[in-house]
Amino acid sequence: MFRRILLWVSENHYLNNKLPKMGFVKRARSKFMPGETLEEALQAASELEKQDTSTVFTLLGENVEDLDESRGVVDHYKTVLREVRNRNLTSEISLKLTQIGVDLGSGIASDNLREILELAQRLNLFVWIDIEGSYYTDTTIDIYKGVAGKYSNVGICLQAYLYRTTDDIQGMLALNPSIRLVKGAYLESEEIAFPQKKDVDRNYLKLADELLVARRRNEVRAVFATHDSKIIDQIMNTIVLHEDLNLGDLEIHMLYGISKHVQESLLQSGVKVAVLIAYGSSWFPWYMRRLAERPANLWFLLSRMLAG
């Protein structure tokens, strides 16, 4: 119930305009973001690299319905790629197709994506495609499949809460894909997604096993984007059971500001860890999805309100 209310707020236009302007909401934002600007994100990445942690940059914002605005996002990501290269960072980027014009036509988003991938390929950098609400799943997978044949520096995020994901993974293995597995952050109906968290967790582990089998055959780059230490432990246990994989092959991605202690212990075990740094002024829906993931986060928000 708590999760559903927060996810409803994240999609409500009136609250999306009002709440982000309130001081206590702005103050609470710092829990998950180093700042709104690219420069703040780049500086946070430099600090994390000193601790052997790689980063993934994501400009917040979704459902861009204006062509010029979507072109602005493309130009912005090209600037990010050049900055990453100029500063010798190991960072990747992660973008949403609704930021680069998919609501204006899948051809527009696909062309915009190719432009970003072209530069990323020249700079030897990697681009992730986020996965959004289920309305966009087919289009996102089609666009990914359309570019994955030509570019090897692109990956897609898939959600363990969707029943379809096991088929989606099998359907793209021939492309030697890069897949970042998440649990899923949107409000979905039980016709298409597991309503119970325990079932999502169980499916995550099943999909992780399938990805590790494919990884052993060098058919996939598998990244596990989760803060769930029980799931991570089980994935690590599976890896140590197999002689042809070691913990250095494991890639875990987490969100900035979350589960730092888990990141440290993973680094000590030799696991590759990357932190996704989100920035930008359109942070509210993304921020509400983060609150929905953990009830304790709401208390953090309230404590910022009481702190004045």
The token pair at 178 is 């890069």
Near ligand FDA by CB under 6 A, which window of 20-28, 40-48, 68-76, 183-191?
183-191
Going 90 to 287 to 30 to 2, the CA torsion angle's sign is negative
Question: Contacting ligand FDA (CB under 6 A), which of 177, 184, 280, 285?
Answer: 184
- How far apart (Å, rounded) are the C-alpha atoms in residues 88 and 49? 10
CB of 243 to ligand FDA, least distance (A): 28
- Cα–Cα distance, 93 to 64 (Å, whole number): 18
127 makes contact with ligand FDA (CB under 6 A): no
CB of 40 to ligand FDA, least distance (A): 18
Is 208 among the residues that bind ligand FDA (CB under 6 A)?
Answer: no
Instruction: Tell me: does residue 216 bind ligand FDA (CB under 6 A).
Output: no
Q: Angle, nearest 10°, between helix axes 106-122 and 67-86? A: 10
Interface residue with ligand FDA among 228, 238, 267, 301 (CB under 6 A) is 228
- Rounded least distance, CB 274 to ligand FDA, Å: 7
Question: Please, are residues 132 and 62 in contact by the beta-carbon 8 Å criterion?
Answer: yes
Cα separation, 86 vs 123, in Å, equals: 10
Other residues' Cβ atoms within 10 Å of the Cβ of residue 186: 19
What's the closest the beta carbon of residue 277 comes to ligand FDA, in angstroms?
10
The CA-atom distances, in angstroms, between 194 and each of 33, 158, 296 are 29, 14, 23
Asked if 183 is part of the footprint of ligand FDA (rule: CB under 6 A), the reply reads: yes
Residues forming beta bridges with residue 158, ordered by sequence position? 181
- Is there a contact between 262 and 254 (Cβ–Cβ < 8 Å)? yes
Q: Which residues are catalytic?
A: 130, 180
**Of 7, 25, 97, 255, which lies in the binding site for ligand FDA, with binding defined by CB under 6 A?**
255
Give the Cα separation of 308 and 305 in Å (integer): 5
- Of 198 and 217, nearer to ligand FDA (C-beta) is 198
Binding mask 131-160 for ligand FDA (x = CB under 6 A): x-------------------------x-x-
Alpha-carbon distance values, 292 to 5, 54, 61 (Å): 8, 26, 18
Q: How far is the CB of 103 from ligand FDA (least distance, A)?
A: 17
Q: Which of 185, 235, 266, 288 binds ligand FDA (CB under 6 A)?
A: 185
Q: What tokens appear for 67 in the block?
A: 């062509």
- Of 7-15, 21-29, 47-55, 250-258, the segment contacting ligand FDA by CB under 6 A is 250-258
Shortest spacing between CB 219 and ligand FDA, in angstroms: 22
| Cβ–Cβ under 8 Å, residues 43 and 91 | no
The residue among 122 and 260 lying less far from ligand FDA, judged by its C-beta, is 260
Residues that bind ligand FDA in the complex, under the rule CB under 6 A: 130-131, 157, 159, 182-186, 225-228, 253-255, 258-259, 276, 290, 293-294, 297
